[in-house]
Amino acid sequence: MIKKILLGLLGFVVLLLIGGYAYYRLVIYQPPLISNDDRAAIRLMPLPSKLELKSGQIDLSKGLKIRYANVKNELIEKSMERFISRLNKKAGEEVIRESGLEFIIDCQSDQQYAVPLPNEDESYTLNINSKTISLQALSPYGIIRGLETLVQLVKTENGNDVIPAVEIYDKPRFRWRGLMLDVSRHWMPKDVVLRTLDAMATVKMNVFHWHLSDDQGFRVESKVYPRLHEVGSNGKYYTQSEIGEVIRYAAERGIRVVPEFDVPGHTESWQIAYPELSTVSYPLKFGAQQGELFPPPLDPAKEEVYLFLDKLIGEMGALFPDQYLHIGGDEVNPDYWNKSSSDQEFMKENNLKDGHDFQAYFNKRVHEILQKHGKRMIGWEEILHPDLGNDIIIQSWKSHKSLFEAVQHGGTAILSSGYYLDLKLHADKHYQIDPLVLPGAVDIIPDTGYWKMYDMTMDFAGNKMTSQLVVFDRDSSNVFGFFAMMDQRMVFKNGMIKDNQITFNLNSPMGELSYNAAFVGDSINGKLAFGLLKFNTSGVQSGGSDRSGTLMPKIEIVKPLTEDEKTRIIGGEAALWSEVVSAENAESRLWPRAAAIAEKLWSPQELTNDLEDMYRRLELISKQLTEQGSRHETYYESMLHRLIEPAGFEALKTLVDNLEEVKYYNRLAGILGMDELYLPDMPLDRVVDAARPESMEAREFNIMVDAFIADSTGVKNKTEIMNQLEIWSENNERLMSFIGESEKLMEIEHISADFSLVSHAALEKLSNKSSVTQEEISQLMEKMAFLEQGDHGVLLAVVPGLRKLILK
């Protein structure tokens, strides 16, 4: 009896110890989500929430036998068909067999709808040992995401295709992980859309925002208002049958399709088809008119506009089953309303004080129409207005400011600021943007006793942009203040003023900016730099503590988000506008950079800070996307082949490999006229259209130079750098004989010549064959500054490395 009691007590103690250890592991002990060693060994993008590599692996040559532990429905079956096809392609043989290692699919819920809902559970667990693969999820969408991870885990070792043993628990950080594709400015055929959806699924994006109407075209067949596609599309539109096919294709991959019909602005194509909707009485045609950047908007004072929208939204709402419909609402020019006597009379009668109120009136009427047809409203940040209530989603594109404002006033929002792929920025710039972190937020305490304010203008892509600089300076080695542009104030700290020169760095939604300027009396002139780009700025003092009667601008200190407000920032969207993007090169403007944004929206925040590791995995995911059918790489060589005869191809590729399309909208002020820009069929077939947004060859060279400069022995990478410089220094001579009378190639003739010249100078300096005088260095610096700024839409991306070699 005593023995039994003692054994019982011992068992109880053991249970306590085991339970205590389990409690410690699960609740108290917080291991890293992914260890550094495991992170370096994996190939996944996006990174999972938690991952731990184990010993052992699955050898795919032994085959896999699938067993469904619970639910097996049509959605899971189709996802498995795609998975098996891709797995067989990777392995080069049939992997799924009647007998083999066990692959268990365990889905707990059979609930599925025609399209995914906004709050679907996408979590999953994946456990792999040397004998079994187990994929568990609460919903079919978790199974879909888990299968994408499993495909990415496949690697080749010693000639065999294997999957490492691993434990993964994964779920998305944000529930709205979108990609916006503009198919209006330049038409994108259905096959481009389908390949985009495949790529989105690979990186676990779940919202396809389809920008279907703009000034250049209305891209959907309408049976209610057929002139929209017959007249307003230039013959390029999707039939309703094709729309249904895209929606089903997306749904099978766990992707929602949210259509955008932009109103009241960006509707020139509508007004060409139905002139009675317009604010103006004169006839419209495609292309910019009368020097206006933005064509006339719809007329909110006309009741027939709302009758038209009611029928159209009813038709489109039935065609697109998602709960949300995007109304655009951006970039409306109120000047047309201000010049209309009937609109002014309407505004007066309805107590609408300005164009913003007039648009809010319009949006409120559209909101009521959407609710009537069972839809919820989403729109760009310009629609933010207290009259619309909080059941809409605000999409912030200019800055984080509107994102924070929307949720701090009780609303819901998603972020696109910092995720605009058509700006052609490098992947790391997008990767550093986080929806919950406001770059350059105003958190300083103003020094009311000593301040100066300057009203500034900045040359930006051929246009003048207004900005404002406020400086607080009592200690010239610790200057602080803020720089305001595009409706956002950004703080700088730890600036310096010396010899009437001010320098500072600041964080912005575009990344880190640096400013250097000279004070001359009441004027200030300098440059604002972002990476390779530099913009001239000038300004005059307009206020200060030394100017009686002037007031310091009101500074709104940004309040940190509450936990509730954070939950109402539900995600973000990458965006690709197509003013200078064609169906041929669209995928290269999307991928692989959009994968970095996808990871930012899926993976835990603490796992998305390592830029070098991001680039390592970005290269791998780029190859996987190509294997799956994306043409972001294959388009490149085909475009180059059309530009030059076969014998000159390698020389042209050597040059263009190191070129990038210029950043932001600089290209628009260069080779394009505004009238061309607004034509829906503007050709995009030049070198700039082949050049990629980010040259990985250039990045590799610049990193190699940095390592060489940092090496005290002066040996590391020297041979590789010299070999590369020798190729570049001789490349112009090889290329020139093929340029001939080609207007498109003559655009880059001087770039090629200067590239070879600077490369030769760097090679000579590195090999100590000749010394370079200070005057020659100055001339080379001027050439590199020109190459870095860009011409005819392209810049030379290896300039940072070449400059360091010349100055070494």
Which residues participate in catalysis according to the annotation?
A: 331
Task: Count the Cβ atoms, other than its own, within 10 Å of residue 606.
Answer: 9
Only one residue has tokens 């060589």, namely: 637
Which residues, at least 6 apart from 656, have a Cβ–Cβ distance to it below 8 Å?
A: 640, 687, 690, 691
Token pair belonging to 291: 């020097």
CB contact at 8 A, 278 and 299: yes
Question: Hey, what amino acid is at 174?
Answer: F
Which residues, at least 6 apart from 633, have a Cβ–Cβ distance to it below 8 Å?
A: 588, 622, 626
Token pair belonging to 773: 């005088």
Task: Count the Cβ atoms, other than its own, within 10 Å of residue 546.
Answer: 10
Q: What are phi and psi of 188, to 5 degrees?
A: -115, 110
Radius of gyration of the chain (CA): 29
Shortest CA distance to 335 belongs to which of 306, 294, 303? Answer: 294
Which residues, at least 6 apart from 379, have a Cβ–Cβ distance to it below 8 Å?
A: 326, 327, 328, 329, 330, 363, 392, 393, 394, 395
Could you give the CA distance from residue 499 to residue 503 in angstroms, rounded to a whole number?
11
CB contact at 8 A, 527 and 535: yes
Q: Which residues are bridge partners to 490 per DSSP? A: 483
Calculate the CA dihedral of residues 249, 420, 594, 633 and round it to 10 degrees. 90
Token pair belonging to 115: 């399209």
Shortest CA distance to 215 belongs to which of 331, 320, 338, 314? Answer: 331
Could you give the CA distance from residue 318 to residue 244 in angstroms, rounded to a whole number?
11
The 3-state DSSP class for residue 211 equals strand
Could you give the CA distance from residue 130 to residue 22 in angstroms, rounded to a whole number?
25
CB contact at 8 A, 760 and 656: no
Could you give the CA distance from residue 764 to residue 721 in angstroms, rounded to a whole number?
12
Only one residue has tokens 């990777």, namely: 90
Could you give the CA distance from residue 642 to residue 746 in angstroms, rounded to a whole number?
15
**DSSP output for 26-82:** III----SS-HHHHHH---SSPPSEEEEEEEEEEGGG-EEEEESS---HHHHHHHHH
Only one residue has tokens 């010899």, namely: 499
Shortest CA distance to 263 belongs to which of 198, 313, 359, 329? Answer: 329
Shortest CA distance to 608 belongs to which of 427, 342, 352? Answer: 427
How far, in Å, are 68, 96, 155, 191, 627 from residue 79 at the CA level?
13, 14, 21, 20, 17
CB contact at 8 A, 265 and 294: yes
Alpha-helical regions (H) of 373-506: 400-408, 427-431
Token pair belonging to 393: 């989603």
Could you give the CA distance from residue 413 to residue 227 in angstroms, rounded to a whole number?
34
